[in-house]
Amino acid sequence: MGLLWIVATGSYWDVSASPPEPYRVLRVYDGDTILVSGADKRHVIRLLGIDAPETSKGKGEPGQPFSKQARRYLAGLILDRTVTLAVYGEDRYHRVLAVVYYESRDINHAMIQAGLAEVYRGRTPDGFAKAPYLATEAEARKTHTGMWQQGDDYVSPIRWKHPR
């Protein structure tokens, strides 16, 4: 088993030596970004390994199809609840990259299973296993779950943000 790291007071520690720190989910920004509070600090968390449909970034601009559903679904799973985090570092925006767990359930995986996120196609940190996420995404696509019901009209969030 690889090492899991939990953020606390700006440092990292091996969770095999201590139980995971609990965090309260204060806000769900979108289908893959949340705000948590714990150990007297707040952290913006980017759910590692997933990419949810993009929300509107400006007034009057529509978000990507299924972006509102993804945000609402994630909020229904974890908003105002206590979660634990398996942290893999930070991204370039200084968000904590983590797998979020609620009552031992991998919430990142749950978003893919619901068809409200795809597997992140970019580089992921060492020790993060994408294979289970990819298998779940393939099943969601096959059964046209959530955003996959768009068929050929589906646009990956990365392409939505950066059209060519």
Match 């509102």 to its residue by tokens: 68
Say which of 27, 92, 95, 105 is annotated catalytic: 95
Is there a catalytic annotation at residue 24?
A: no
Is there a catalytic annotation at residue 46?
A: yes
Say which of 54, 71, 118, 137 is annotated catalytic: 54
Say which of 21, 42, 46, 121 is annotated catalytic: 46
Is there a catalytic annotation at residue 95?
A: yes
Quote the distance between the C-alpha of residue 142 and its chain's center.
22
Which residues are identified as catalytic?
Answer: 46, 54, 95
